[in-house]
Structure 1
Amino acid sequence: MEPRMESCLAQVLQKDVGKRLQVGQELIDYFSDKQKSADLEHDQTMLDKLVDGLATSWVNSSNYKVVLLGMDILSALVTRLQDRFKAQIGTVLPSLIDRLGDAKDSVREQDQTLLLKIMDQAANPQYVWDRMLGGFKHKNFRTREGICLCLIATLNA
């Protein structure tokens, strides 16, 4: 199993946008299948590198399709790891907060959905909101607005 996780990490860390778009769905399928990715729960260092690569390279990408795919992969990891994803929240939140101010509606909507999913499945809303408070002072007006909309959605959930 170890070479497969190494291969996933290499795919996440590579910079070519075309290849990222090709391997994105494969990564989602891999992380969704407990038999294929059984080592995901055991190798914390590899998981840390993987999530960091997704948050910094995919979610912060200038290509919106890569951003959406990165959020889909993170969503699959949240579904798979549930409360074990809590350790990764500090890594992904800065990128997700920034994406609340994206110019594309689809990115902002998917970002909010992912944040709500993290609050529902990985950690309680109070834990996540304690780390998101800086978003209310963000330099981008759209990000501040997105934080407010996310708070409303959290309260309504």
Structure 2
Amino acid sequence: MEEALELARAKDAKERMAGVERLHQVLEASRKSLSSTEVTSLVDCCLDLLKDSSFRVAQGALQALASASVLSGDHFKLHFNALVPAVVDRLGDAKQPVRDAARRLLLTLMEVNVRFGIVASCDVENLGICFGK
């Protein structure tokens, strides 16, 4: 996973895309939970990727986060306050695949939240964007 994260942090857009694709593949194929340190590295990297100008990179980051949250939801509780507003921002993306990936990640995070009994105090004002308020 470390190699994929390194590639996803590259300056070149094609390398970032390759890194995101590899990251998603690694996480989808994994059967073991990620460590707290691995989750932190992944979240930090993906938060940067969510701001990427390439919609495919942002979409891939959202998909990687969804896969990782299923594997290691208990470690995601430390990152909810940073993740949710960043994901909600992508609900307003111009590209439908990014909006769909953001919606799926939010649903996955909610399921993980229920499964692990995580209570997050997120900035609820950002959720108004979703409902046109």
TM-score range, shorter chain: 0.7 to 0.9
- State the Cα distance separating 1:46 from its structure 2 match: 4.1
TM-score, scaled to structure 1: 0.69
Distance 1:105 1:34, change over 3 A: closer
Q: Does 1:9 align with 2:5?
A: yes
Query: Unaligned stretches of 5+ in structure 1?
Result: 138-143, 150-157
CA contact (8 A) 2:43 2:79 kept: yes
CA contact (8 A) 2:20 2:60 kept: yes
1:83 aligned to 74, 85, 100, which one?
74
Cα deviations by residue, 1:78-120 (Å, 9 ceiling, x for unpaired): 1211333222222322211211211222222221111011000
Distance 1:135 1:22, change over 3 A: same
Residue 40 of structure 1 aligns with which residue?
A: 34
Cα deviations by residue, 1:20-62 (Å, 9 ceiling, x for unpaired): 2223222112123336xx5832xx3343132111112x11111
Q: Measure the CA separation in 2 of the matches of 1:60 and 1:50.
A: 15
Q: Measure the CA separation in 2 of the matches of 1:136 and 1:85.
A: 19
Larger radius of gyration: 1
1:118 aligned to 101, 104, 109, which one?
109
Distance 1:112 1:132, change over 3 A: farther
Q: How does 1:138-153 map to 2 (within 5 A)?
A: 144=129, 146=130, 148=131
- Cα-Cα RMSD: 2.6
Q: Does 1:67 align with 2:58?
A: yes
Structure 2 counterpart of 1:120, which letter?
E
Considering fraction of residues, name the structure with more helix. Answer: 1
Number of aligned positions between the proteins: 130
Residue 103 of structure 1 aligns with which residue?
A: 94
Structure 1 counterpart of 2:27, which letter?
F
CA contact (8 A) 2:62 2:105 kept: yes
Q: Percent identity?
A: 25
Q: Does 1:51 align with 2:47?
A: no
Q: Measure the CA separation in 2 of the matches of 1:88 and 1:136.
A: 17
Q: Measure the CA separation in 2 of the matches of 1:81 and 1:39.
A: 5
TM-score, scaled to structure 2: 0.80
